[in-house]
Structure formats: C-alpha cells, structure tokens
C-alpha cells in the first residue's frame, strides 16, 4: 500500500465513521457497528501488512551476505533496495545489484540479466556458484 492508497483509505474510514454516527441516531449501537466494523477490519489488515513487511525486511537484514564481486563490501555494506517474501534486491557500495533468493546470491547486470555469483551451503558458508 502506498501513501496515496493510505490517504484514500483514511478518507474512506472517515466517511464510514460519519455514516456510523448517522445510523447510530436511528439504530443506536447497531448503526455504529456498520461504520466501525469495516474500518477496524481495514486498519487491522493495514497493520498486518506493515508488520509482515517489517518482518521480511528484518529477515533479510540479519541474513548474511557474501563479499561482493569487487571484494570490497561485506555483509553489512549492502543496502536493501526492495524485498518480497521470496527474494530481496541489494545494492552494494560499489553500485552493483544483487538478488538474494533462498540460498543463492545472484548478480543483476545493468541489462537486467542475472549471473550466478554465490551459493550458500547447509552450514551457512558462501562459495562461488559460477565456476
Ligand atoms: Zn561492492
């Protein structure tokens, strides 16, 4: 959800709350529920989305990363560009892009093609997967 959708959603919440207040004059508590229940469910959904996004980011931030191809950047020198549940895109200080997916660390070339770089074994050590 981006900031624009969040604004629309906040506006919709306000409209529903006004509607709830209006209906409460007629049906008292039941009228309030018409407005409050969808708003509450909506915000819970937004919060869950935000929390799962944070968990995903956290998971990728604690995962170890191999030294970059230039041999200059270590695990902590990578910046998380974007992440999903399956993979994360990192940029190292040299400017190279890498895709972290399961136990693979793949280099993303400027033309968007992917080049195998490193693979992690079961004990958590990285080794070259392109040789
Ligand atoms: Zn680097």
pTM of the model: 0.64
The structural domain count of the chain equals 2
Give me ligand 1 centre to Cα 100, in Å. Answer: 15
Per the structure, the complete domain to which residue 78 belongs is given by: 66-128
The confidence score (pLDDT) of residue 1 equals: 62
How far apart CA 106 and CA 89 sit, in angstroms, is 10
Task: Look at residues 30, 61, 92 and tell me which one is the last residue of a structural domain.
Answer: 61
Give me ligand 1 centre to Cα 31, in Å. Answer: 59
Give me ligand 1 centre to Cα 69, in Å. Answer: 6
Task: Look at residues 45, 61, 77 and tell me which one is the last residue of a structural domain.
Answer: 61
pLDDT, mean over the chain: 88
* Averaged pLDDT for residues 104-109: 94
Residue 44 shares a structural domain with residue 75: no
CA 34 → CA 21, 52, 85, distances in Å? Answer: 9, 28, 34
Task: Look at residues 15, 32, 61 and tell me which one is the last residue of a structural domain.
Answer: 61
The confidence score (pLDDT) of residue 119 equals: 93
User: Which of 87, 85, 66 lies closest to 75, judged by CA?
Assistant: 66
Residue 71 shares a structural domain with residue 121: yes
Residue 70 shares a structural domain with residue 48: no
Give me ligand 1 centre to Cα 124, in Å. Answer: 20
Tokens of 7: 């604004």
Residue 88 shares a structural domain with residue 43: no
Residue 55 shares a structural domain with residue 70: no
Residue 10 shares a structural domain with residue 42: yes
Residue 9 shares a structural domain with residue 53: yes
- Does residue 66 register a pLDDT over 90? yes
Give me ligand 1 centre to Cα 10, in Å. Answer: 42
């Amino acid at each position: 959800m981006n900031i624009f959708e969040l604004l629309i959603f906040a506006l919709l919440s306000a409209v529903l709350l006004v509607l709830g207040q209006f209906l409460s004059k007629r049906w008292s508590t039941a009228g309030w529920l018409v407005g409050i229940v969808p708003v509450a469910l909506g915000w819970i959904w937004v919060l869950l989305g935000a929390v799962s996004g944070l968990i995903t980011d956290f998971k990728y931030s604690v995962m170890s990363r191999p030294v970059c191809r230039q041999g200059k950047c270590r695990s902590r020198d990578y910046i998380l560009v974007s992440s999903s549940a399956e993979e994360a895109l990192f940029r190292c200080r040299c400017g190279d892009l890498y895709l972290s997916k399961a136990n693979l660390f793949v280099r993303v070339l400027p033309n968007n093609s992917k080049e195998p770089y490193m693979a992690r074994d079961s004990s958590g050590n990285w080794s070259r997967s392109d040789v």
